[in-house]
Structure 1
């Protein structure tokens, strides 16, 4: 890990990835404004290309193939957009993306992403700490968990017309996980607004957990005193637990989690050892002190 102040645009983004020079300049300005608050959170691993990040996705509302989101998410309407924040908060209400992630608060976070399917990427996100949003709405003393809900709009999200999953998609965190400085609400990547297939216009990113915890296209955030039941936990409780922390020593019932395939590394030599907590153990292991991480998976 190294401070974001040591990172430069040449470390992150090849210029040819930006088709619009004005977007590049606007994105750079936003990062300069937010760099002071991002110190220490970014990995120094080389990011995947924009092409890889935006064309190899799980977003089952658009289909189960890895290229389905890029093919079918173009028609998703993301402006206007509002996120309903309710439950045990002082200031419940409907908030715009600009309310939650104003331009002058956006930071860059270059994070590892590890999918439960045993593939991985490195992604340069733009976003704000979730803690800043929760502090803005005022967390009440009784709150212990945060529940998230994805957009339900079958006319624009074609896979929602089928009963292949329980819709809308839901996820949850413990409050201390949600307030951890690594946890962000992302609104962009590679200096651009978040593409639809990556969860536009606002999504969760929790880098020490398997990727399915980082819920996309959020429309509701609820503070509660009861542990939420997430979608995969409800559908397949024998395979997916509430925590979903990256743990190479706890296999999925159908495959090993000991290694992962880095997207873009080629067919040969593309596997690497999976790191406990996806390499963020120094920052987050204390959250789970005393827990049995093989049982509380």
Structure 2
């Protein structure tokens, strides 16, 4: 929904940079532009060139649509979805699209390490071309009680697990987002526990729904939506969908994500959708379909229970729902 609810650890609006300074084309003293300009014209041009490099995998889109994952509602308009995004690395509002264009996504290396047969790094383009891309349409439910439907392109997370060759002792996958304060001003805010971390159990990671998205709406994914590689897990609240991933670590100990570190009473490890379990500050019984104003009843596991409910059997003592 459109109301921004401030948490106790967020700065008040009066301390935020005025919007006209952030979005004014002439105000280059933000993000990568500021750092590059201080370093000189050559550095400024280098940052611009990196940020604007064409996507070498653009020829792979649109990917073939997978009809198995049908929707009960229209796909959210791309203009809405690409202009209503959380990306705290840039700022704490939904208006991150312009700032996110400073993020250079080529070259982009992905590290795979931890409890695997052999740790390695792989360039994002090599990784993408090792996989067979497909398009899937998923519903997504935000913990703030609004929802979207998105056409993702990418590949099953299970394919990355297969590539990684984890050891039998690996119980979780720890994922990490880029950490470059030169291009993302939010990363210079020391009250957040950067870099952004999220985790999945091996059972969650290898579930058929768990998807690594490299594109959306028939083309490479937009930067503000998590380019060049992000997670899409449709049965969980949206803060579990990590963006701009640079590292997958296979570990034995359960990772603690950023939101769990900040507000453990509100944001837990599992974060599965359940209409009967309210957030401490609002109900989760209904959701607003973003862009339409329509309110719908929230569904258990966001309607994907047939695919995922078995993962959580025997975990009655765990806090699965928030």
TM-score bracket for the superposition, by shorter chain length: 0.7 to 0.9
The aligned residue for residue 272 of structure 1 is: 296
Deviations 1:263-297 (A, max 9, x none): 1113xxx2111111011001101111133388333
- 1:90 Cα deviation after fit: 1.4
Gaps of 5+ in 1: 1-22
Residue pair 2:134, 2:154 contacting (<8 A) in 1 also: yes
The aligned residue for residue 97 of structure 1 is: 124
Name which one, 1 or 2, has greater alpha-carbon Rg: 2
CA RMSD, Structure 1 to Structure 2 (Å): 1.8
- 1:25 Cα deviation after fit: 8.0
Residue pair 1:24, 1:191 contacting (<8 A) in 2 also: no
CA distance in 1, matches of 2:121, 2:59: 31
Q: Does 1:284 align with 2:312?
A: no
The aligned residue for residue 254 of structure 1 is: 281
The aligned residue for residue 238 of structure 1 is: 265
Q: Alignment partner of 2:187: what SS?
A: helix
Q: Does 1:203 align with 2:230?
A: yes
Residue pair 2:175, 2:249 contacting (<8 A) in 1 also: yes
Counterpart selection for 1:263 from 277, 290, 296: 290
CA distance in 1, matches of 2:272, 2:167: 26
Change (3 A) 1:218 1:119: same
Change (3 A) 1:168 1:265: same
Residue pair 2:131, 2:155 contacting (<8 A) in 1 also: no
The aligned residue for residue 216 of structure 2 is: 189
Q: Does 1:43 align with 2:71?
A: yes
Q: Alignment partner of 1:125: what SS?
A: strand
The aligned residue for residue 27 of structure 1 is: 61
Change (3 A) 1:163 1:24: closer
CA distance in 2, matches of 1:291, 1:27: 40
Change (3 A) 1:220 1:294: closer
CA distance in 1, matches of 2:206, 2:58: 30
Change (3 A) 1:184 1:234: same
Residue pair 2:234, 2:302 contacting (<8 A) in 1 also: yes
The aligned residue for residue 24 of structure 2 is: none
- 1:164 Cα deviation after fit: 4.0
Which of the two has greater helix per residue?
1
Residue pair 2:60, 2:133 contacting (<8 A) in 1 also: no
The aligned residue for residue 178 of structure 1 is: 205
Change (3 A) 1:138 1:104: closer
Residue pair 2:110, 2:124 contacting (<8 A) in 1 also: yes
Residue pair 1:110, 1:123 contacting (<8 A) in 2 also: yes
4+ runs deviating over 4 angstroms: 23-26
Deviates more, 1:54-63 or 1:89-98: 89-98
Residue pair 2:272, 2:320 contacting (<8 A) in 1 also: no
With normalisation by structure 1, the TM-score equals: 0.85
Residue pair 1:250, 1:294 contacting (<8 A) in 2 also: no
The alignment of Structure 1 onto Structure 2 pairs a total of residues equal to 265
Gaps of 5+ in 2: 1-56
